[in-house]
Amino acid sequence: MSSSKEEDGAVPAAAKGSWAPFLKSIASFNGDLASLTAPPFILSSTSLTEYSGYWAEHPEIFVAPAQEKDPQKRALLVLKWFLTTLKQQYSSRNEKLGSEKKPLNPFLGELFLGKWKDPTGKIGETQLISEQVSHHPPVTAYAILNEKHGVKLEGYNGQKASFSRGTISVRQVGHAKYHLKEFDEDYLITLPSLHIEGIVYGAPYVELNKSSTIISSTGYVAQIDYSGKGWITGKKNTFCATLKKEGSKDILYTIDGQWSDGFVIKEGKTKKELETYNAKTTEITPLYIAPIEEQDPLESRRAWAKVQESINTGDLETTGTEKSKIENEQRELRKKEKEEGREWERRYFTRVMDDPVFTRLAESCEIVAEEGKTDGIWVFDEKKFAQVVEKARTGGEAKAEVVNTAA
Ligand SMILES: CC(C)CCC[C@@H](C)[C@H]1CC[C@H]2[C@@H]3[C@@H](O)C=C4C[C@@H](O)CC[C@]4(C)[C@H]3CC[C@]12C
């Protein structure tokens, strides 16, 4: 874990009294991030269901592999896309809001829906479907679809946390699958574990740990090793990735850099520089979502509207009251379901015990055993999706759209 003097005094003066008791409380933390009572200045008004959108904030990079005929170069483009998502996933709150924040804990069935439009017509529309498929333990499932290029990303994500030596360590449970229709090609993406730095200074930020992997059905394996700023050497958010053919020691490509800053792609043998990527200057495409009044009552921004407004204005009393209203409503729903002997029907996802694509690709890495612990695998249910699309079509629910301006 790193430390620096510049982080001293990061806790806002008015909040200083609440940070020490918070530090004490996390020392006896039980691993359930949702149950952490964080001081108000560290609360975000964004629900965790929104985080699924970080996978495709550069739609042109998301669909680029679909336009590449060479399987080796395609595997490289998938790795490149994955690396470009890291800045958004893990440091965007820090940059926008001044520090990492604690997101709103989504309720079961919560939805976050949107699309990235494409006025050029070259990329086509990319659609986001994110749904909270479990509340205890919290699990968010997502699908990101681009019909024009036949690209589909689906996955799910939960977190297991622990506290030791002044930091919160988080292991991500779940995985993502990237599918290219034209080549009938799949990529299994494992999720990096992370820890929160800067907690003692009241300026939390995320650092990624160890390594993660991308395995393709065409036999390419990418390994990404993460490291951070140490006491003496190293830069924050550093990584070093390699792409190899499965079973071979030859490195086809290397990609090195800082995921929050930029990286360089080089050819393995010759070390010839092929491309550089600047994470700071590459603009994101804003997600378009329906205006609140036209959203489904289960959609995140509509359901949490009052809580979000009160967090943003610092009205703690209303935050508490409005949050309790949602929690009580949820408790009532679960009670009723139990009495009636039924389970909440997920709108877009289904839990399966065996996913052939996952099993085939996971065989060559260590994640199979881990997945067993998640009590099944959440998959995007095309049938359910088709039914929702049909219902919207016949019901004539044309939704107007606005730019997503939230932090
Ligand atoms: C700030 C701290 C004191 C409270 C703890 C907040 C904790 C629950 C947050 C902090 C970072 C969050 C990660 C976030 O970095 C990015 C992602 C990637 C996304 O695809 C899935 C969610 C996840 C893992 C967030 C989970 C909630 C975390 C750990």
Ligand 1 pocket, residue 173 CB under 6 Å: no
Give the pLDDT confidence score for residue 113 in this predicted structure: 98
Using the mean position of ligand 1's atoms as its centre, give its distance from the Cα of residue 176 in Å: 17
Kindly give, in sequence order, each residue whose CB lies less than 8 Å from that of residue 341, ignoring residues fewer than 6 positions away.
none
CATH of the domain at 84: 2.40.160.120
Using the mean position of ligand 1's atoms as its centre, give its distance from the Cα of residue 195 in Å: 9
Q: Determine the atom of ligand 1 nearest the C-alpha atom of 101.
A: 1
pLDDT in single tens digits along all 407 residues of the chain: 333 433 444 666 656 677 888 888 887 777 778 778 888 888 999 999 999 999 999 999 999 999 999 999 999 999 999 999 999 999 998 888 888 999 999 999 999 999 999 999 999 999 999 999 999 999 999 999 999 999 999 999 999 988 877 789 999 999 999 999 999 999 999 999 999 998 888 889 999 999 999 999 999 999 999 998 876 678 999 999 999 999 999 999 999 999 999 999 999 999 999 999 999 999 999 999 999 999 999 999 999 999 999 999 999 999 999 999 999 999 999 999 999 999 999 999 999 998 999 999 998 766 655 554 567 899 999 999 999 999 988 885 544 444 443 33
Using the mean position of ligand 1's atoms as its centre, give its distance from the Cα of residue 81 in Å: 21
Q: Determine the atom of ligand 1 nearest the C-alpha atom of 54.
A: 20
Kindly give, in sequence order, each residue whose CB lies less than 8 Å from that of residue 49, ignoring residues fewer than 6 positions away.
106, 110, 111, 112, 130, 131, 132, 140, 300
Domain span at 171: 1-407
Query: 329 with 297: CB under 8 angstroms?
Result: no
Ligand 1 pocket, residue 196 CB under 6 Å: yes
The amino acid at 131: E
Give the pLDDT confidence score for residue 3 in this predicted structure: 38
Residue with tokens 């994470």: 279
Kindly give, in sequence order, each residue whose CB lies less than 8 Å from that of residue 149, ignoring residues fewer than 6 positions away.
63, 66, 67, 123, 124
Say if the ipTM goes beyond 0.90. yes
Give the pLDDT confidence score for residue 398 in this predicted structure: 45
Kindly give, in sequence order, each residue whose CB lies less than 8 Å from that of residue 311, ignoring residues fewer than 6 positions away.
40, 43, 44, 45, 319
The Cα 179–Cα 175 span in angstroms is 13
Cis peptide before 204 (omega within 30 of 0): no
Comparing CA positions, the residue from 377, 386, 376 lying closest to residue 347 is 386
Ligand 1 pocket, residue 142 CB under 6 Å: no
Residue nearest to atom 17 of ligand 1 (CA): 89
Ligand 1 pocket, residue 204 CB under 6 Å: yes
Comparing CA positions, the residue from 133, 32, 35 lying closest to residue 345 is 133
Name the domain count of the chain: 1
Using the mean position of ligand 1's atoms as its centre, give its distance from the Cα of residue 85 in Å: 15
Using the mean position of ligand 1's atoms as its centre, give its distance from the Cα of residue 322 in Å: 23
